[in-house]
Structure 1
């Protein structure tokens, strides 16, 4: 029996392999990696061009990477659009304007390539704009009943592609929560058009043993004493992730023997900084050496940073679709403080973490008191760590890949 010819259409700005980061891009990396060993699909991936990604892709033998290069005048135009939105319009989140023209050019070029090639399954990753590939040269007819929408976030704008979305063969939502939001937005869609494809992560990246010497060396790099308790946040520096609340709670807790390590940036591996990011920097400056802003760290190095942390604080204050960083923390065997936001409870059992109710008026005070407790109570931290270790096998990339194959068969 011949293998399914599957093509994955990625965002059009961050590349695959995920050398510049990105949660969605990292998940695609995991699918590619598993296909290298399990080899159940004939896999093709479209990606924006990046020299580092191109070099990394040469190591792959079971996946065809098709890179789309962006003309120089489009890159320049996008920089001007970004500058205008940030400086003139003073948009709160100018990063959303950073790659508009690049993505439009990417979608057009991918559409032309799909018209000249044949695939059994078409996977559109996360953005409704990618449905634009169906417009080119009768692709809508050619791929009818063959296209899938891998949805990592709620659709807030369908860009005029409502009809294509409603006719999707199946939505692969990262949680039942995100599927329910989609069903509310498009009530004409049938229940059979939805499936949950839970995120997975590479256990070898996050559960690997770290020597005492390596742990000490990395701590010393950031001026962290061996006796200090390290609270850590990982993820995008964006208001919905709750980092400001976490740092304010850390400040109010007045912990004399603790530091707060922040891993992340506004927009992956770029120098883009939002107004929110500047607020974080200002608070970090106020707290001096008690808060460490480490910036963007590649996913394949994150395991070492989890290794030097004692408590992961990820108090998402929006309706988080799933929460990749939460399962990274659990896989790393760390005490975790998070919230009951969106799909998080589908991934994080109550016994494996402290889950706060973000909608309660007492949320901030409870976050502060929880941080105080975990800084002082080694027994409490150890109990959470033990539960996390027992749970870590639930999030393997192998299971995610097998679920993916089963859904699209």
Structure 2
């Protein structure tokens, strides 16, 4: 943020105070004693609410943090309060519990969501005034014309020109289904199929046994699967460029699926689980959707094998995905306009009710 210059924006940096160390300490003790994850986010929410000026703003838009929203709710008087939801809720995520969600439903002037999947789920809990604003990927950042490291990446991972490169982008966590992808790759006999796994764990200790299982499979797949670790967003375009298709094996409900849109921008075919918002993002002609049942791994292997043997089909699916990617916002200005319009719509709805 410090490197950016905004003409009509004032960024307020919330500085730590000397007594914050005691607040953090108390928060830590509460988590250790009560063993409840609900205390995990209290410190951040406290810091955010401290900077809030009552009766100073016209509209307050809270980005995706339910605890911050709830902490601000205690201070709001005349401000119109909106919440922008990016993730699923009521799904074993302590940051997005149903009770927190209901507080937002019952108090917000409007809720912005990233997919119809989330809108329908909120409405099933009696939410109204929910507006969908789809995520976007900047065309100037995901474009075949700006790739410049393709050969370098291929050399680094010993990839040959006739290899079939499968790409996975995302965290290496159970919900993302990386283990299912590796299990599927173990079923394939085609040694030309190579897989690049771009991403890392946020918390390896949390997924100890899961990581051990992945490590065992990686040993069996040595020379066929490569972990790149974290890759900056600015470099992702090069990994998409060298791949034949992208796999998104999510085992939970994706609220949107930004990786899908990135792959679509790069004209790539996609194999994805039938997960939440993914189904509304991807083109039916550009994707193979795998049902999450007992046959998921074998069906995933079959889909990978099918695309590996038909490069022409990959290209056709990639074109279909690229065409569909044009229906989503194409620039940050277009995206901002949609956010503003959604807030204006929500404000008018409240005014009409009053």
- Change beyond 3 A, Cα 1:258–1:164: closer
The corresponding residue for 2:3 is: 56
Contact 2:283-2:320 at 8 Å conserved across structures: no
The corresponding residue for 2:234 is: 300
The corresponding residue for 1:369 is: 302
1:346, CA displacement in angstroms? 1.3
The corresponding residue for 1:379 is: 312
The corresponding residue for 1:236 is: 171
1:78, CA displacement in angstroms? 10
Contact 1:262-1:294 at 8 Å conserved across structures: yes
Asked if 1:126 is matched to 2:34, the reply is no
* Structure 2 unaligned regions, length at least 5: 91-96, 345-354
- Change beyond 3 A, Cα 1:119–1:382: same
* Structure 1 unaligned regions, length at least 5: 1-53
Q: TM-score by structure 2 length?
A: 0.82
Contact 2:290-2:299 at 8 Å conserved across structures: yes
The corresponding residue for 1:112 is: 50
Contact 1:216-1:226 at 8 Å conserved across structures: no
1:74, CA displacement in angstroms? 7.2
The corresponding residue for 1:404 is: 339
- Change beyond 3 A, Cα 1:80–1:288: farther
1:277, CA displacement in angstroms? 3.6
Could you tell me which of 185, 191, 196 is aligned with 1:261?
196
Contact 2:27-2:43 at 8 Å conserved across structures: no
1:407, CA displacement in angstroms? 0.6
Distance 1:218 1:154 in 2: 34
Could you tell me which of 13, 17, 39 is aligned with 1:67?
13
Distance 2:2 2:204 in 1: 23
Distance 1:389 1:161 in 2: 34
1:332, CA displacement in angstroms? 1.1
Distance 2:9 2:179 in 1: 40
Contact 2:167-2:247 at 8 Å conserved across structures: yes
5 Å-filtered alignment, 1:88-237, equals 100=40, 103-115=41-53, 118-136=56-74, 139-143=75-79, 146-156=80-90, 157=97, 162-184=102-124, 186-187=125-126, 189=127, 191=128, 193-210=129-146, 214-237=149-172
Distance 1:78 1:329 in 2: 44
The corresponding residue for 1:334 is: 268
Secondary structure of 1:232's aligned partner: strand
Distance 1:218 1:79 in 2: 44
Q: TM-score by structure 1 length?
A: 0.72
Distance 2:230 2:55 in 1: 37
Distance 1:80 1:403 in 2: 40
* Alignment: residue pair count: 331
